[in-house]
């Protein structure tokens, strides 16, 4: 009995040992399998994760490209600026630190309040801008006493600056803080990674249109950090690639001159171009705004002032505002009628001062109440007869007019390298049905002949049409980019800007251009008094766009009419007539009779062809 108990106890002990050993063996196998899994199977993955714990990539923002005018004058530059960086976890007494810093730098109570606001938000690192006026003495004093300011660093960075303020703001545009909309867009086009560490992006104008060219490519610093996140050493550095510089077709001096002579003359748009290339020489939209306000983020106060201004300074009138093109289109209408065979160079129409719509009692008045008498196509352009073009447009019909005016670029984007361009309206039968649920009547076509009615256009479209006429139908794409250069000043980009051509008899082009020549050089021409004594020959065409209609017995007087109901004054001109070097379009919005558009045009042409040459 005792012997059996002894054997049973021994067997139980052996079983327990085996079970324990088996358990240990299983655990050991599990450990070995996990070690194999960690060290062999997932070695690369965990190595990368481990490195992330002590290796940090810090993006380096590239230097943005400079924007120049055609003569190499810098229009948008980067200026060095400075900021104080507070690393809060290293600062024991923030109040004392700020007070001591104030003895070196010109810090204000407002700066301290902003610091407190950021502190409440829970930020660990807070920046206070010092601006670009920090002198070497102050920086040296801070460096000498740096031991007194643990957790405080002075950091240098670049800030965009527009040295000419309001001049060219609508063209150059501006950069400003990247917002959520920008981030979403960059993510969508798979460019978000190239903006890590970048705070600003082009928002308007050339800054926005050529963002990819100007921005450059980010670099980075790979640093080793300890468990507390402090830098131990730099492992690698990849320098950023600076953005490319852009040279514009804009002539700053011409731009400034135009702005000077149109100052205090109300809301104005001026576009000057080289008709042989389509290059924009000047683009003036008055009033304007200072782009520097937006760079650091415009204040609510300043932004509301701009938004509430009844003259809309943020509005680029050259590409966004639309006006009836008025009598400036009469040369194009004449060419269209000649091409259609509606008229010939010998066609004569009698102008009694009015035109009556056949089959109705509707009369359309000429601007000259007594009429122009007998007119051929050249004289009708010279004297800007409305009656002649009422008849011509009625005979052609809206379909043929629309076909040809769209060839001149009306109702379409011009191709300008700026966003936010308005296309205006070149009306069609379908357009009227869609917008008014009414058919197109023959009477709707009549005012189209003098650039009124449902027809609207931007100043840039008017200028493009003028260039097309000058070039006998060869369409030049208006553009602001001259060329792009890299860091070694190599020209990278300069695309051709000729598109297609309007086919018509060369004789017809010469007829209508001679009509414009007569406007400026023949005694009966509507702009003869402005250009007759010019030392060069001009071709021109003026126009008056009515904002509202007068009654038959009423006489127009700009001083007695509410400002927003006054007529717009328009003028197209190019010179020299035989070898054009400049084409100009001017719009004076709701202008009064004191502002002489012909005089402004003459001054611009004189400056460019005479004074500038000297």
User: Is 308 in contact with 281 (CB distance < 8 Å)?
Assistant: no
Of the options 3.60.70.12, 3.90.1310.10, 1.10.3720.10, 3.40.50.300, the CATH number for the domain spanning 57-248: 3.90.1310.10
Please report, to the nearest 10 degrees, the dihedral formed by the alpha carbons of residues 381, 383, 384, 387 taken in order: -100
Distance CA 258, CA 600 (A): 8
Pick the closest to residue 197 from 157, 231, 230, 235 (CA basis): 157
Give the bridge partners for 60, in sequence order: 219
**Statement: residue 4 has pLDDT above 60:** no
Length of the chain: 614
Distance CA 392, CA 370 (A): 20
253-611: CATH architecture: 3-Layer(aba) Sandwich (3.40)
Distance CA 238, CA 139 (A): 28
Q: Can you tell me which residue has the tokens 């006493």?
A: 145
Mean pLDDT score, 175-199: 93
**Statement: residue 383 has pLDDT above 50:** yes
Give the bridge partners for 374, in sequence order: 350
CA distances from 397 to 417, 457, 459, 551 (A): 34, 20, 25, 27
User: Is 463 in contact with 486 (CB distance < 8 Å)?
Assistant: no
Distance CA 527, CA 600 (A): 12
Distance CA 277, CA 466 (A): 13
Q: Can you tell me which residue has the tokens 């040369």?
A: 331
Sorting pLDDT into bands at 50, 70 and 90, what band is 146?
A: confident
Q: What is the pLDDT of residues 123-141, one digit of tens each?
A: 677 777 776 667 778 888 8
Its pTM stands at 0.85
- Alpha helices (H) along 145-251: 169-172, 180-188, 205-209, 211-215
Domain extents for the chain?
A: 2-53, 57-248, 253-611
**Statement: residue 377 has pLDDT above 60:** yes
CA distances from 300 to 116, 176, 312, 338, 390 (A): 21, 14, 17, 56, 51
Q: Are strands 245-248 and 67-68 parallel, antiparallel or unpaired?
A: parallel
Q: What is the pLDDT of residues 13-71, one digit of tens each?
A: 777 777 777 788 888 888 887 777 767 676 666 666 555 557 778 888 999 999 999 99
3-state secondary structure of 260: helix
Q: What is the pLDDT of residues 73-82, one digit of tens each?
A: 999 999 988 8
Q: Catalytic residue among 327, 380, 457, 542, which?
A: 327
Distance CA 281, CA 301 (A): 34
E strands present in 257-318: 268-274, 279-286
Sorting pLDDT into bands at 50, 70 and 90, what band is 479?
A: very high
E strands present in 334-490: 349-351, 354-356, 363-365, 373-375, 474-476, 481-485
- Annotated catalytic residue 327: yes
Round the average pLDDT of the chain to a whole number and report it: 88
């Amino acid at each position: 009995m005792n012997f059996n108990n002894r054997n049973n106890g021994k067997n139980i002990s052996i079983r327990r040992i085996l079970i324990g050993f088996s358990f240990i063996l299983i655990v050991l196998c599990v450990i070995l399998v996990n070690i194999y899994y960690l060290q062999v199977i997932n070695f690369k993955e965990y190595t990368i994760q481990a490195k992330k714990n002590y290796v940090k990539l810090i993006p380096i923002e590239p230097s943005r490209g400079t924007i120049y005018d055609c003569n190499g004058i810098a229009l948008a530059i980067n200026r060095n600026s400075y900021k104080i960086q507070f690393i809060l976890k290293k600062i024991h007494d923030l109040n004392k630190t700020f007070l001591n810093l104030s003895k070196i730098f010109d810090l204000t109570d407002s700066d301290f309040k902003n610091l407190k606001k950021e502190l409440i938000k829970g930020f660990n690192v807070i920046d206070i801008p010092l601006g670009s006026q920090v002198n070497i003495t102050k920086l040296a004093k801070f460096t000498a006493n740096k031991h007194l300011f643990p957790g405080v660093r002075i950091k240098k960075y670049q800030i965009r600056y527009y040295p000419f303020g309001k001049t060219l703001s609508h063209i150059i545009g501006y950069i400003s803080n990247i917002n959520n909309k920008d981030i979403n867009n960059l993510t969508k086009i798979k460019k978000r990674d190239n903006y890590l560490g970048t705070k600003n992006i082009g928002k308007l104008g050339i800054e926005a249109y050529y963002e990819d060219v100007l921005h450059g490519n980010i670099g980075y610093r790979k640093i080793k950090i300890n468990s507390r996140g402090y830098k131990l050493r730099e492992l690698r550095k990849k320098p950023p690639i600076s953005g490319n510089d852009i040279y514009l077709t804009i002539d700053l001096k011409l731009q400034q001159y135009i702005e000077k002579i149109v100052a205090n003359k109300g809301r104005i748009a001026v576009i000057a171009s080289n008709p042989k290339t389509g290059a924009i020489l000047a683009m003036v939209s008055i009033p304007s705004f200072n782009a520097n306000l937006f760079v650091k983020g415009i204040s609510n106060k300043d932004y509301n002032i701009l938004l509430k201004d009844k003259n809309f300074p943020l509005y680029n009138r050259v590409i966004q505002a639309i006006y009836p093109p008025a009598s400036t289109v009469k040369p194009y209408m004449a060419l269209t009628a000649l091409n259609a065979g509606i008229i010939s160079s010998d066609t004569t129409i009698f102008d009694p001062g009015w035109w009556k719509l056949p089959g109705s009692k509707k009369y359309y008045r000429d601007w000259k109440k007594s009429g122009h008498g007998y007119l051929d196509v050249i004289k009708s352009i010279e004297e800007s007869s409305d009656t002649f073009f009422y008849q011509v447009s009625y005979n052609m019909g809206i379909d043929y007019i629309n076909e040809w005016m769209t060839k001149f670029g009306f109702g379409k984007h011009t191709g300008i390298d700026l966003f936010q361009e308005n296309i205006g309206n070149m009306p069609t039968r379908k357009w009227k049905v869609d917008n008014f649920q009414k058919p197109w009547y023959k009477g709707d076509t009549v005012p189209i002949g003098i650039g009124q009615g449902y027809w609207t256009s931007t100043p840039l479209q008017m200028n493009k049409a003028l260039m097309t006429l000058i070039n006998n139908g060869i369409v030049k794409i208006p553009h602001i980019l001259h060329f792009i250069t890299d860091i070694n000043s190599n020209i990278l980009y300069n695309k051709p800007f000729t598109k297609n051509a309007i086919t018509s008899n060369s004789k017809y082009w010469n007829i209508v251009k001679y009509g414009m020549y007569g406007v400026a050089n023949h005694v009966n021409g509507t702009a003869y008094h402005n250009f007759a004594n010019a030392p060069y020959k001009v071709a021109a065409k003026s126009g008056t766009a009515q904002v509202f209609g007068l009654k038959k017995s009423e006489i127009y007087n700009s001083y007695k009419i509410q400002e927003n109901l006054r007529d717009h004054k328009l003028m197209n001109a190019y010179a020299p007539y035989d070898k054009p070097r400049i084409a100009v379009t001017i719009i004076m919005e709701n202008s009064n009779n004191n502002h002489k558009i012909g005089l402004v045009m003459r001054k611009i042409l004189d400056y460019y062809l005479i004074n500038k040459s000297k």
